[in-house]
Amino acid sequence: MDIHSKIIVCTSLDEDGRITRKDSFENSFDRLEAYLSHFSKGDKFVMESTGFYEPLYDFIESRGFNVILANPLKIRLIAESRMKNDDIDSEVLAKLLRNDWIPESYVPRKEIREMRRIVRTRIQLKRDLTRMKNRIHFELLRLHVDYEVNPFTWKGKVFLMNLSNPRILSYLTVMDSLESEIRKIDSSLASYVGVEGIKNLQSVPGIGLFSAMVIYSEIGDINRFGDSGKLISYAGMIPSVRQSSDIIHHGRITYQGSRYLRWIVVEALHTHMVNDPGSSISSFYKHLSKGKGKSKAIIAASNKLLKAIYWILKENRPYYSKNQAQ
């Protein structure tokens, strides 16, 4: 299945690799339902991991079919090396599937996918809220308005409304709507308090319920990572490597992998160092920042925090700090 925003293009092969049908139809659940009626339970479907895959993946899986999600980066390398074709369309995907050459992307359990959607929605709403606040700051600067009160407290909002500036009033209206939606999501997070992995992650100073949910849902099954280094690589926090002759150059971190996991671990590190300044992670950061600088120390200490997270989930236990033994 070649998924596009408006259409889905499909190629079906039989066991001998012969094309039995080609279809192109509107990207809608009604049309997809009609298409699936031509197949039997046990038939395999493959699609690339794109921004449009999740609703279709869930829909096909709920109908009892086996769905495989292909890694788009790796699949192009395989198509080029084995099929001399870098144009990944539905027929190429079908042939790769038949030959068992599909490099699969990890798909977490349905409840984990739903948790991801919840926390990612909250992240986006908070970022939209920050954008509104920045626009208000800019408008106040443009108007040369002096203010001592925090403009986003209750008193601050009264001050802003009294300015009767149409743009600021519009931004405040959007902010009220965003804050209302964020509160709705926050009230739903309580249902995840009892999840053991989330509860164990919250034992780390600096990791609250929301942070724990982001970490837990982005990692998924911890057993898919053979060691903590693979988890750090998944977060895109390992240095890039470039080799020239016999010289190996280590550059900036790769930034490949889960950007949400990378972001929340760095955020949690800052809070951790405030709440537990004497921990081994905090001490490691302080020592490294003196010689390597704060930026490199943040990455290294975040990796150390990720290692702790790995073992918390792997061994299904709470966090242990040396300060807890005192």
**Token pair of 258 as six digits:** 């889960």
Average pLDDT over the chain reads 89
What is the mean pLDDT of the segment spanning 266-277? 96
Note the Cα 153 to chain centre separation in Å: 31
pTM of the model: 0.83
What is the mean pLDDT of the segment spanning 186-204? 95
Residue 293 Cα distances to 39, 235, 289, 296, angstroms: 59, 22, 4, 6
Looking at residue 82, its pLDDT comes to: 64
Higher-confidence position of 242 and 140: 140
What is the mean pLDDT of the segment spanning 80-109? 80
Domain boundaries, the chain: 2-98, 110-192, 204-325
Looking at residue 322, its pLDDT comes to: 61
Predicted confidence (pLDDT) at residue 77 exceeds the cutoff of 60:
yes
According to the 3-state scheme, what is the secondary structure of the chain? Answer: CEECCCEEEEEEECCCCCEEEEEEEECCHHHHHHHHCCCCCCCEEEEECCCCHHHHHHHHHHCCCEEEEECHHHHHHHHHHHHCCCCCCHHHHHHHHHCCCCCECCCCCHHHHHHHHHHHHHHHHHHHHHHHHHHHHHHHHHCCCCCCCCCCCHHHHHHHHHCCCHHHHHHHHHHHHHHHHHHHHHHHHHHHCCCHHHHHHCCCCCCCHHHHHHHHHHHCCHHHCCCHHHHHHHCCCCEEEEEECCEEEEEEECCCCCHHHHHHHHHHHHHHHHHCCCCHHHHHHHHHHHHHCHHHHHHHHHHHHHHHHHHHHHCCCCCCCHHHHC
Torsion sign across C-alpha atoms 175, 181, 184, 188:
negative
Looking at residue 326, its pLDDT comes to: 38
pLDDT tier, 289 (very low <50, low <70, confident <90, very high otherwise): very high
Looking at residue 83, its pLDDT comes to: 59
Looking at residue 254, its pLDDT comes to: 61
Using CA atoms, how far apart are residues 96 and 68, in angstroms rounded to an integer? Answer: 12
| CATH fold label, 2-98 | Nucleotidyltransferase; domain 5 (3.30.420)
Looking at residue 255, its pLDDT comes to: 66
What's the Rg (C-alpha) of the chain?
25
According to the 3-state scheme, what is the secondary structure of 146-214? Answer: CCCCCCCCHHHHHHHHHCCCHHHHHHHHHHHHHHHHHHHHHHHHHHHCCCHHHHHHCCCCCCCHHHHHH
> Model confidence over 28-43: pLDDT tens digits?
999 999 999 999 988 9
Query: Which has the closest alpha carbon to 324: 284, 280, 293, 289?
Result: 280
Predicted confidence (pLDDT) at residue 294 exceeds the cutoff of 70:
yes
**Token pair of 136 as six digits:** 């208000």
Looking at residue 275, its pLDDT comes to: 95
Looking at residue 262, its pLDDT comes to: 94
Predicted confidence (pLDDT) at residue 241 exceeds the cutoff of 60:
no
Higher-confidence position of 242 and 117: 117
Using CA atoms, how far apart are residues 168 and 160, in angstroms rounded to an integer? Answer: 7
What is the mean pLDDT of the segment spanning 220-232? 95
Higher-confidence position of 91 and 178: 178
Predicted confidence (pLDDT) at residue 281 exceeds the cutoff of 60:
yes
Looking at residue 239, its pLDDT comes to: 67
pLDDT tier, 159 (very low <50, low <70, confident <90, very high otherwise): very high
> Model confidence over 300-312: pLDDT tens digits?
999 999 999 999 9
> Model confidence over 314-326: pLDDT tens digits?
999 999 876 554 3
Looking at residue 248, its pLDDT comes to: 45
Looking at residue 50, its pLDDT comes to: 80
Predicted confidence (pLDDT) at residue 246 exceeds the cutoff of 60:
no
Predicted confidence (pLDDT) at residue 160 exceeds the cutoff of 80:
yes
b/e 153-173 (16+ beta carbons within 10 angstroms → b): eeeebebbeebebeebeebbe
Percent of the residues in the chain that have a pLDDT greater than 90, as a whole number: 73
Looking at residue 256, its pLDDT comes to: 72
Using CA atoms, how far apart are residues 195 and 118, in angstroms rounded to an integer? Answer: 15
- If phi over 0 gives left and psi between -120 and 50 gives alpha, with beta otherwise, what is residue 200? alpha
Torsion sign across C-alpha atoms 37, 49, 305, 193:
negative
What is the mean pLDDT of the segment spanning 134-147? 95
